[in-house]
Structure 1
Amino acid sequence: MQNIVNRHHLNMPKLGLGTWPMLGAECTQAVIQALELGYRHIDTATMYNNEEAVGKALQESGVPREQIHVTTKVWWDKLSPADMRESLQASLTALRSEYVDLFMIHWPAKDWDLAKTIETLVSFKQQGLAKNIGVANFPLPLLRTVVEELHAPLSAIQVEYHVCLSQDPLLEYARLHDLALTAYSPLLRNKVSEIPELQAIAKKHDVLPTQVALKWLLDQPNVAAIPKAASKANQQSNLDALSVRLDADDLALIAGLPKDQRLVNPEFAPQWD
């Protein structure tokens, strides 16, 4: 499986397993199963309430911890320095790990001391508690502030990204600054299977619309994707997407889809544009 490697020493498989909203035994089993199939990138977060289940899977899987990339995130209401440290320590305890491979701010806050928050985030990397640091759901102006004014050595940004939502400006910036862009909800919460254009491409290649949508993302430089998949069949299907070959006609069809279909827009979300 291809990895995204950058100057910040990130080494992250392009295809990962998203774990929201799986909980408890279901989550543990799904992660163990994914690792058995060959996944080496697991995405979780404090707010998912499943870090302990992921940690149990990491311990029971038999795969050496250093071979697995684990991302977790701190929630937006825990962004004071003390709260962030407490959140990270709780995550490490739940994950049964001395470090996390990528620690992210899950959402920006409305009322916060951005400089202190970022300084604390950077300290986790300096202390080796997080091998890499990043942010999620940051619009471009805020990301630019963090990278260019606060000089944070970010490795990645995670945002909603799929065939019906453009992230071109953010992606261009990520490539310019050697950041990975991880796509969450990459299958449009499985609505990609209902899109006629993707159905046509899938039929042409004798694959599934979900595999077409995933491969479109994974073929892009700097882009990773973390589809949630609980069943072995779906996990394998997503892995098999890596072997799909899209041609220029396929890409043109996908380019013609609407690119403004945002699924995740909670009340605390930032101004996106």
Structure 2
Amino acid sequence: MQEIPRLGFGTYENDDPEQCAESVRTALDAGYRHVDTAQSYGNESAVGDGIAASDVDSEDVFVATKLSTENLAYDDAVETARESADRLGVDTIDLLYVHWPINSYDPEGTIEALNDLYEDGVIDAVGLSNFRVDQLNDALDRLEPRLAAHQVECHPMLPQDDLRAHAVDHDYALVAYCPIARNQVADVEPIREIAEKHDATPAQVSLAWLLEKENVAAIPKATGESHIRENWEARELDLDDEDVAAIDGIDERHRIVDFDAAPWNQ
């Protein structure tokens, strides 16, 4: 499989087809090479249109999508993964995640579908998303290809220490969604101070902090060109040890994405 580019472009809630396609095109032309979507976002076709409209060769774009929670039974997973590839305009999906281990998720049938999709070349790599550690371990026991990534909410107020350690121990990427906590990082004093110190934005500081972590990638979402480019420029922000320690020391903890059926509430 291809290496997962560490700073990607998220498309959650980017559901206007023209806007989504334009945002993806803009992101790729700005330098991104990792685009993340999902069946449940309803924008896979628009993402494919944006990739096709870009000046970047589609073979150089790492495309990730996710199986919806109603499509996790074996037959549904196999059928809809192929449909996702068609909508995205790719022969092979670079990375296919199980979006949530809820609803129709079946550890045996779902993982068997992923194994077969990988074997058949429909997908190049397998990912999981929003799993607990025990669920990750169970899936790892069943997966034939190695796990490539686990996507979870991760930012300075939810650093996911246990899941990051698991990713390092098992050599896969932890992909951070909501990496700027829907810009709530701008309300955190240490992050604001570090941003001022570096003439950067709090969002850039949060992204740079994540990229300092071993095995971590981030997929901030944006629609406008200025925010798309601003996030991309976070790669150039060099935090010093004092900055990283200050962010590590933030004691506020909360989730952005949370609901009763979420795995961590079970």
Q: TM-score, normalised by structure 1?
A: 0.93
CA distance in 1, matches of 2:28, 2:5: 13
- 1:109 corresponds to 2:69: no
Give the conservation status (yes or no) of the 8 Å contact 1:10–1:155: no
Give the equivalent residue in structure 2 for 1:153.
Answer: 146
Could you tell me which residue of structure 1 aligns to residue 12 of structure 2?
20
Whole-angstrom distance in 2 between the partners of 1:265 and 1:184: 13
Is structure 2 residue 116 aligned with structure 1 residue 123? Answer: yes
Paired with 1:194 and 1:113, the residues of 2 have a C-alpha distance of 40
Equivalent pair of 1:40/1:67 in contact (CA under 8 Å): yes
Q: Give the structure 1 partner of residue 56 of structure 2.
A: 63
Describe the SS at the equivalent of 2:71.
coil
What 5-or-longer segments of structure 2 have no aligned partner?
none
2:264 aligns to what SS in structure 1? coil
Structure 1 portions without partners, runs of 5+: 1-8
1:6 alignment counterpart: none
- 2:260 & 2:181 partners in 1: Cα distance? 20
In structure 2, the CA distance between the partners of 1:269 and 1:34, relative to structure 1 (3 Å rule), is same
Paired residue type of 1:212: V
Compute the displacement of 1:86 (Å): 1.9
Q: Residue by residue, what CA displacement relative to the aligned partner does 1:40-74 show, whole Å, maximum 9, x if unpaired?
A: 00000000011010011111213222100000000
Q: CA RMSD in A?
A: 1.5
Deviates more, 1:213-222 or 1:105-114: 105-114
Find runs of 4+ consecutive structure 1 residues off by over 4 angstroms: 149-152
Structure 2 counterpart of 1:185, from 178, 188, 191? 178
Partner of 1:4: none
Distance (whole Å) between structure 1 residues aligned to residue 143 and residue 94 of structure 2? 22
Instruction: Give the superposition deviation at 1:215.
Output: 0.1
Note the 1:222-237 alignment, pairs <5 A.
222-237=215-230
Other-structure match for 2:201? 208
**Contact kept? 1:146, 1:152, Cα under 8 Å:** no
Tell me, yes or no, if structure 1 residue 96 matches structure 2 residue 89: yes
**What letter corresponds to residue 3 of structure 2 in structure 1?**
N
Equivalent in 264, 267, 270 of residue 260 of structure 2: 267
* Contact kept? 2:95, 2:123, Cα under 8 Å: yes
Contact map agreement 2:92 2:123 (CA 8 A) in 1 = yes
TM-score where L is the length of structure 2 = 0.95
